[in-house]
């Protein structure tokens, strides 16, 4: 009887030893496996967010791309009045564009990275030019029969910044472009100061499906 009791005590001791051994051995590995699984899931979520962040827009249009890779669609001009003008004091000829102020796109220069053009029709022909806001633009627009409008002056229409001062990655139906020299462009468009503006014509004439945009950069 005594020997049988001792035998059971040994068996219980051995079973307890193995149970403790298994717990000690498996728990760290289980924690490690859970940690690895969590890390993989977290990485997948981060990769998914990153993919969504840099996912190209689905719809045709012109977009501003910021420093984080987000796309912001620009508002195109629904209507404009373009007139050939002549400076009173200088005699210089220029084009005056009268538009609705709410259709002017205001963009942060410090957070601006590039332009994204989406759509085969829009990337066929792209023209980017310097424009200046007229100090008395609202008065001029009122006198021209556009109450509530504003005026911009097209400068150097022969200088296409898209062709001369941008580098682009072009695909079948899209083109992403950045300025080659930001400081040079800032100096050209705004004499080194902010705000300054430019016009974008994407595609052919508006009558043939093209779009026109006014973009003014601010701090």
The per-residue pLDDT for range 45-83, each reduced to its tens digit, is 444 444 344 588 999 999 999 999 999 999 999 987 776
Same domain, 80 and 158: yes
The pTM for the full model equals 0.71
* 33 and 79 fall within a common domain: no
- Of 84, 65, 102, nearest to 214 by C-alpha is 102
pLDDT digits (tens, 9 = 90+) for 94-118: 777 888 899 999 999 999 999 999 9
Regarding whether 103 and 172 lie in a shared domain, the answer is yes
Among 53, 76, 96, the domain-final residue is 53
Residues 66 and 22 in one domain: no
Query: What is the pLDDT at residue 152?
Result: 86
Q: What is the pLDDT of residue 133?
A: 85
Print the domain residue range for 127. Answer: 61-218
Q: What is the pLDDT of residues 75-100, one digit of tens each?
A: 999 987 776 666 655 656 677 788 88
Q: Which of 98, 97, 100, 95 is nearest to 84 (CA)?
A: 95
Q: Are 116 and 160 within one domain?
A: yes
Is residue 28 located within the same domain as residue 132?
Answer: no
pLDDT at 209: 82
Number of domains in the chain: 2
pLDDT at 140: 59
47 plus 126 within the same structural domain: no
Please indicate, yes or no, whether residues 49 and 65 belong to a single structural domain of this protein: no
Residues 123 and 206 in one domain: yes
pLDDT digits (tens, 9 = 90+) for 150-208: 888 898 999 999 999 999 999 999 999 999 999 999 999 998 888 999 999 999 877 77
Of 53, 72, 90, the domain-final residue: 53
Amino acid 111: pLDDT:
97
pLDDT at 169: 96
205 and 129 in a common domain: yes
Residues 91 and 170 occupy one common structural domain: yes
Percent of the chain clearing pLDDT 70 (strictly above): 64
pLDDT-derived band at 21 (thresholds 50, 70, 90) equals very low
pLDDT in tens, 119-146: 999 999 999 999 988 775 555 565 565 5
Task: Please indicate, yes or no, whether residues 41 and 77 belong to a single structural domain of this protein.
Answer: no
Q: Are 99 and 111 in contact (CB under 8 A)?
A: no
**Residue 180: φ, ψ to 5°:** -70, -40
Reported in sequence order, the residue ranges of 67-173 that DSSP labels E, i.e. its strands, are 71-73, 81-86, 93-99, 104-108, 112-118, 126-133, 150-155, 166-170
149 close to 98: Cβ distance less than 8 angstroms: yes
């Amino acid at each position: 009887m005594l020997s049988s009791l001792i035998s059971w005590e040994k068996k219980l001791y051995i079973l307890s030893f193995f149970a403790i051994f298994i717990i000690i051995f498996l728990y760290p590995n289980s924690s490690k496996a859970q940690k690895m699984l969590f890390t993989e899931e977290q990485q997948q979520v981060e990769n998914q967010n990153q993919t969504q962040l840099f996912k190209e827009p689905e719809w045709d249009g012109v977009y501003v791309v910021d420093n984080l890779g987000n796309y912001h669609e620009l508002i195109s001009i629904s209507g404009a009045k373009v007139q050939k003008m002549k400076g009173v004091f200088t005699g210089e000829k220029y084009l005056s564009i009268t538009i609705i102020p709410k259709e002017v796109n205001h963009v942060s220069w410090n957070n601006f990275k590039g332009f994204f053009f989406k759509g085969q029709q829009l990337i066929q022909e792209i023209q980017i030019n310097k424009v200046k806001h007229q100090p008395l633009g609202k008065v001029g627009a009122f006198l021209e029969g556009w109450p509530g409008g504003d005026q911009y002056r097209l400068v150097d229409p022969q200088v296409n910044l898209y062709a001369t001062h941008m580098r682009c990655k072009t695909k079948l139906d899209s083109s992403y472009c950045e300025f080659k020299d930001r400081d040079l462009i800032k100096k050209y468009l705004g004499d080194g100061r902010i705000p300054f503006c430019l016009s974008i014509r994407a595609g052919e004439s508006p009558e043939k499906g093209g779009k026109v945009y006014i973009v003014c950069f601010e701090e």
